[in-house]
Amino acid sequence: MGIIYNEKAKSFKLDAGNSSYVMQVFDNKFLSHIYYGKHVPDTDMSYLLGPISGVAPSKVPGFEVMAMDALPFEYPVPGLGDYRDACLEIQTKTGHRVCELEYDSYSIYSGKPKLDGLPATFGNEKECTTLEIVCKDPLLNLEVVLRYTVFEELNVICRSSVIKNKGSEEIYLKCALSACLDASGQDYDVLSLHGAWAKECQLTRQSVNANRVISESSRGVTSAQSSPFMALVSKEVNETCGDVYAMNFVYSGNFYASCEAGQSGSTRMVMGINPNNFTWKLEADSLFETPEVVMVYSSEGLGAMTRTFHDLYRNHLIRCPYGNQDRPILVNNWEATYFDFNETKLLELATEASKCGIEMLVLDDGWFGARSIDDRGLGDWYVNEDKIKGGLGKLTKDVNGLSMKFGLWIEPEMVNPNSDLYREHPDWAIQIPNRTGKLSRTQYVLDWSRKEVRDSVYAQIKHVLDNAHVEYIKWDMNRHLTDLGSYDLPSDRQQELSHRYVLGVYDIMNRLITDFPDLLYENCSSGGARFDAGVLYYSPQIWASDDTDAIERIRIQAGTSLCFPLSSMGSHVSAVPNHQTGRITPFETRGIVALSGTFGYELDVTKLSQEEKDLIKKQTKMFHKYNHLVRNGDLYRLSDVFHPEDYACWSVVSKDRSEALITFVQIHSRPGFFATGTNIKLQGLDPNAKYYVEQHVGGIEPIGTDSESVGDQEKRQASGLGGMESNGVQQISGAALMNGGYVIQRVPGDYTAQLLHFVRVKE
């Protein structure tokens, strides 16, 4: 059992993987946080509250306020003396904003409930256990159910809350966050992810101090500017050591996360829907459910945290059949043609691509309505037959005739003023009446809080998908929300718009995957602005960034990989000079970096040299050889990939430790390197097994590696003959590779890359 209640101490202990989480009902009233960290056997750890217990409100009448600001809470409320960030803030009809939550009861059950209309992790009755703790404000008749689900095999606790108005009058929720962690001590740093368009997920590290460290979005979507990830880490944290307390939000809209040092020596981390521009009218007898926060603990640094998130998301979040399946290698026409294409051009691209082993053509922006440039057409989801003669039905047939699949881009949440949809329904855009809304990329956001708006757009998209053999959808979202106003919502519900909008998005994503269960679905938002766990629930892959430059991608993909598996990361080989940076990198390097993701191409194959096309053939073969490993293996970041200087290195090790794929990118070439090479200490191997380098791509062949073909290797493996030593291939123990390291030979030139495949010698 992962959850224990100690009746005498009135405490709860949650065991998740090899971590423990302890809470206690303090002073017979307040649900307090006591401990989170490495596994402990104790269920009563109230001694940790130490001197704070001395100022329990009931023990020292007259000093309640002091106690409130010192106590560690599970779900803090403001206005009673706790001046740190709160999880729940309300406003009554009388205008008062205080509520006081008292512990009431609990229940423990196997499995995990679904969240209504929201994405969330899932697990069956054998995989997880849920604790529900009910707290009440008797005066307001307000009930808060705090949910904790423990995945027993993983260091994971998933949290959400349900706020129930059991009174007879409405209550306004001004803030309803999902989780709080009152960690003891203050000797921490805070990690968060920030960025910009084409520069997503840049890791930031700051110390905890008396001011709050905040990471948030109020853009209506997750955003490229901040990602809903925050981790409190001990000062010594690196990839392999130190304590990490991480939170990741399963939500795709405005979020708020903060870390703050309290006056009593503890540190509070909270996460949830951003209270900025949020007020929810909770009618009598109704409830509000907060989205889920996933908490991960690691005592072995960031690497272990990452692998926990990856295992959880691969097995308990990505729900589509493609979660663990091979994905087709695609070519997307965006950077190849932008808006300048017709069916002939597309078929030329598909023909050439199929000869190189590419398996799917994705038709990006510009196939619908009057969309010849980006100031028109969004909202009109019917095929532009001037551009695509014979329509999509014919085009998909022709593409399928080349033994290729066909995928399609949509941006369903948007409308251009220059569109039939907007001309007919100007009030369907998010706007404030009588105020001209601000345009971004010449488009408005549709008011998806309204069902009729969603129904209308979805009917158009469904019609397209019903009439052409589309096997993949790229769902884009290319602007943020402004001018927050809905023509439909009453004045006391206007502040609900942002959250209702996100619920509307989830409704359509859900309809899409329900009506078209075999569709492979990729999300995108001006690149990686919606790379979040909420969207990952519906879509097993997400475009990580519009920056397709292989060198820039190292940092972007490393930041994204903190929580998200490589199998979810959209990454393509694009043309040079790169369209975002102007940088010229070798074709091999672009391929090697893109292999650590979903893999595909974003260029005009018809314009490539024969040599480059031959490289595509090699790369597509490499993809098939290694993708099972990339998709399912454990990721180890072997260098500081967040701030790479001379080189970046990472590896993926299979779960059974029988193989590992090492990626090494030389960012800058420096003279001394040729003589010495760079020693990389591998991780995650079996120390008692022996390994050899089975294939090495790029760079200089390491000493002791033969250059036999893949076919020869397979034959030899199939024959059961390890035989490596007789072939002159060096065998090295996992222990030596992890402790002594492996020397990567450096080669002249910037931006070169190497891929090394280590295979365990068969016993």
For ligand GLA, the binding residues (CB under 6 A) are: 334, 364-365, 409, 476, 478, 524, 526-527, 543, 546
**Separation in Å, CA 293 to CA 253, 320, 471:** 13, 21, 32
Rounded to a whole number of angstroms, the minimum distance from the CB of residue 205 to ligand GLA is 28
What is the Cα–Cα distance from 597 to 382, expressed in whole angstroms? 32
Contact 457, 463 (CB under 8 A): no
Lookup: tokens for 603: 């260029």
Residue 9 makes CB contacts below 8 A (sequence gap 6+) with 24, 43, 44, 46
Rounded to a whole number of angstroms, the minimum distance from the CB of residue 198 to ligand GLA is 9
Contact 411, 460 (CB under 8 A): no
Query: Which residue shows structure tokens 């026409």?
Result: 333
Residue 366 makes CB contacts below 8 A (sequence gap 6+) with 338, 339, 341, 372, 384, 387
- Enclosing H/E stretch for 313: helix 301-316
Which value, to the nearest 10 degrees, does the dihedral of the CA atoms of residues 176, 179, 183, 189 take?
-90
Contact 156, 244 (CB under 8 A): no
Q: Which of 243, 364, 365, 546 is catalytic?
A: 546
- The alpha-helical segments, DSSP class H, found in 467-608 are 497-515, 533-538, 550-561, 587-595
Using the 8-state DSSP alphabet, how is residue 349 labeled? H
Amino acid at 99: C
Rounded to a whole number of angstroms, the minimum distance from the CB of residue 526 to ligand GLA is 5
The helix/strand count (H/E) of the chain reads as 16, 39
Burial of 675 (0-12, 13-18, 19+ CB in 10 A): exposed
476 is annotated as an active-site residue: yes
Residue 538 makes CB contacts below 8 A (sequence gap 6+) with 119, 319, 320, 506, 509, 510, 512, 513, 521, 523
Rounded to a whole number of angstroms, the minimum distance from the CB of residue 675 to ligand GLA is 43
What is the Cα–Cα distance from 509 to 504, expressed in whole angstroms? 9
Rounded to a whole number of angstroms, the minimum distance from the CB of residue 341 to ligand GLA is 12
507 is annotated as an active-site residue: no
What is the Cα–Cα distance from 569 to 567, expressed in whole angstroms? 6
Strands 541-543 and 520-523: what pairing?
parallel
Q: Which of 82, 137, 182, 476 is catalytic?
A: 476
In this structure, which long-range contacts are made by residues 201-208, counting pairs with CB atoms below 8 Å and at least 24 apart in sequence?
201/227, 201/528, 201/531, 201/544, 201/555, 201/556, 201/558, 201/559, 201/560, 201/562, 202/555, 202/556, 202/559, 202/642, 203/558, 203/559, 203/562, 203/642, 203/643, 208/232, 208/259, 208/260, 208/261, 208/267
| Spatial CA neighbour of 538 closest among 561, 521, 525 | 521
Lookup: tokens for 374: 């980006």
Rounded to a whole number of angstroms, the minimum distance from the CB of residue 195 to ligand GLA is 14
Helices 610-632/587-595 angle, 10° precision: 20
Report the residue number whose CB is nearest to ligand GLA: 365
Contact 755, 662 (CB under 8 A): yes
Residue 147 makes CB contacts below 8 A (sequence gap 6+) with 113, 130, 131, 132, 158, 159, 160, 161, 162
**Separation in Å, CA 214 to CA 209, 265, 279, 459, 494:** 12, 19, 20, 40, 25
Strands (E), 657-714: 659-666, 678-680, 690-697
- Give whichever of 314 and 474 is closer to ligand GLA, judged by the CB atom: 474
What is the Cα–Cα distance from 500 to 490, expressed in whole angstroms? 13
Query: Which residues make beta-bridge pairs with 408?
Result: 363, 473
User: Which residues have a catalytic role annotated?
Assistant: 476, 546
